Chain A
Amino acid sequence: MSTNNVILEVKNLKQFFRVDRKTTTRAVDDVSFKIFEGETFSVVGESGSGKSTLGRTLIRIYDGVAGEVEFMGKKISGKLDKETKHFITTNMQMIFQDPMASLNPRKKVLDTVAFGLDVNKLVSDPVERKNKVIEVLKSVGLSEDHINRFPHQFSGGQRQRIGVARALVLKPKFIIADEIISALDVSIQAQVINLMKKLQRELGLTYLFIAHDLSMVRYISDRVAVMHLGHIVEMGTVDDVYNHPMHPYTKSLLSAIPHPDPDSEKKRKRFVYDMSTIIYNDSHMVQLSDTHSILTTDKDFELWSKGDYSLSLK
């Protein structure tokens, strides 16, 4: 965190999906947070926690049901005029999970990467267009020779680099990375993560990193929010969340991470908590320190702050 300028502020964001007449999925349910310029803010949670829906709602793939989002001082929730839409697409970009599914198989890399330039009418000269693409490809570790190839001619790691290049070509300030490494092999994951860190250092980017792999998140993030059933249940710096977790959901997630260390693994006790005993509707955010907060009820908070998690065990 270099500065304390807020780049994105989310207030009481809600995103519901109607399943049928009786049921509505509350995918994102009253979520508020701030992201500071130049930092990596990660959202972790299991499948169905609403973390991807959150990212998609922010970049306006979905329209939120309620709540306010302010990005670089501009309101980007509710109805948007043309100018604001343009402002969002040029300053906020997204990288998706599966590079094969998110790249058009019939388009050359040149056209895929240049697409953002084309639709926003940012270049008119074909030579300039090509040069811009080559420049951004080089920054992600690909070369000039790659521009006329198709996605299937690349390996998984290279494809994800194309996805990164496509997001970078408009020189955005803010990037949403939605599970960008989970479809990749372990040895390739580290390559992509190191690339993301390098780009952040060089270009001063801000990341919203959505992931379920807690050890990678710890490595890349400045601050972390843990999501469960559409709520942010715990939020804080990496040190707060990983070394001083208080919410039982965070505790159980952390205790489930496998370590490549057989001796300690064999002795390890997992933290188990019956999550059905927690009622989020009655809960509110409690500030534990300047940076650390959890979602809890007064009654639970009293117990948890004493380290008492026995309530769910009966």
Chain B
Amino acid sequence: MEENRILEVKNLQLSFQLDVGTNHVIRDISFHLNRGETLAIVGESGSGKSVTTKAILGLIDDNGAVEEGSILFRLNKNGKEEIVDLLHSTKSFMQKNIRGSKIAIIFQDPMTSLDPTMTIGNQIMESMLEHKLVKSKKEALERTRNLLDLVGIDHPDKRMKQYPHQLSGGMRQRIVIAIALACEPDLLIADEPTTALDVTIQSQILELIKDIQKKTGVAIIFITHDLGVVANVADRVAVMYAGKIVEEGLASEVYYDPRHPYTWGLLSSIPSLDGKEEEILSIPGSPPNLIHPPKGDAFAYRSSYALAIDFEEVPPMFKVSETHFVASWLLHPDAPKVEMPDVLKKRLNQYSHSKEV
């Protein structure tokens, strides 16, 4: 693994055994995460984005089977670094050395991820005591105070004695973030952390996550279904569709120079705020059933840009730049030249225009 990488997922294939057949949820994905950066994984429900993070944490249900691949993680143990394969580690190793301490996760709904019968303070201190990061209760209290301060909660001593139901939704999500940060993890996974929140609270939480990354240098995987939400926080973006990564690149590349028809569709189905005359383009149909994954490019069946080969062969990752990769036959040198939809083109022009002003 390259020196600056903290996580590397290689050729991951994962399926779940169901009554009706085998559900091929993750179909050969590879990506990496550098130290201190934020990778946004964007996709619709059923695209496999949440399962990917569960695989990283070793939380795959019993009916799930890893068919192939590896997840390499740079484990920093008392200053010594070693590389471990999380996919092939034992449950107790994951519990003791990885989950909660080195890799932490924030879930979507703060109410269901907090214990309603435990005070805020005890919930934050639980994992640092469990992982023996602090020597005494006093030290734990001190650390909790600092954490609450970090996530922007006033009167830490008063808050520590309160229960989750006494706090607002935005406050609760701040607490969840504080718990995730309690053991100073090297990797933070945020699984739709703002989806259950109101817009004004959402923007506060996004600012907070950015701020925390600046202060602690933690690497972040940000899972979302909304490309709008992560524009502000992501360094790189990976777009997932039907268990595959279809486009991956720097945020500027994916937002300003998208190449995959699915990314075009996602971007143009967000109405712009500048004009109302334009129409929003919808993506026809719905995502495929992965018990019988479609042959070739899974998106071809919903795309008006599909080529004949899309229905036959799975497209490889074509390289657009050193950092930008797209899985679409449209990028093959022999493919007919296809432009993105006019609506999207116009909008991207507006963006670049507003940049000059």
Residue numbers of A with Cβ under 8 A of B are: 46-47, 155-158, 185-191, 193-194, 212, 214-216, 218-219, 238, 242, 252-253, 255-266, 268, 270
Contact = CB atoms under 8 A, between A and B. Distances in A.
A189 B225 CA distance: 12
A212 B276 contact: no
Contact of A187 (B266, B271, B351): B266
Contacts of A259: 228, 231, 273
Contact of B271 (A216, A253, A261, A270): A216
Interface residues of B, number: 43
Interface stretch (B2-10, B134-142, B197-205): B197-205
Given A216-B271, A253-B199, A258 B286 contact: no
B255 A187 contact: no
Contact of A186 (B44, B231, B232): B44
Interface centre among B199, B265, B284, B351 (most CB of A within 10 A): B199
B234 interface: yes
B266 A186 contact: yes
Nearest to A48: B198
B269 A187 contact: yes
Contacts of A258: 202-203, 206, 226, 228-229, 231-232
Contacts of A190: 269, 280-283
- Nearest 3 pairs of A and B residues by beta carbon: A190-B282, A219-B271, A46-B198
A185 B266 CA distance: 10
B350 to A, nearest CB: 9
Contacts of A189: 269, 282
Given A194-B279, A262-B251, A256 B269 contact: no
A299 to B, nearest CB: 24
Contacts, number: 113
A187 B281 CA distance: 9
A261 B281 CA distance: 18
Contacts of B269: 186-187, 189-190
Contacts of B280: 190, 193-194, 219
A180 B128 CA distance: 43
B27 to A, nearest CB: 19
B203 A270 contact: yes
Nearest to B233: A265
Interface in B247-301: 251-252, 255-256, 265-267, 269-273, 276, 279-284, 286-287
A264 B355 contact: yes
Contacts of B226: 186, 258
Given A212-B198, A270-B203, A264 B45 contact: no
Contact of B255 (A157, A193, A253, A260): A260
Contact of A194 (B169, B231, B282, B286): B282
A264 B286 contact: no
Contacts of A270: 203, 207
Contacts of B199: 46, 212, 214, 253, 256-257
Contacts of B286: 155-158, 188
Nearest to A268: B232
A95 B252 CA distance: 39
Contact of B198 (A47, A215, A266): A47
A187 B265 contact: yes
Given A187-B269, A189-B269, 7 more contacts: A46-B199, A155-B286, A186-B225, A188-B282, A256-B203, A261-B231, A261-B351
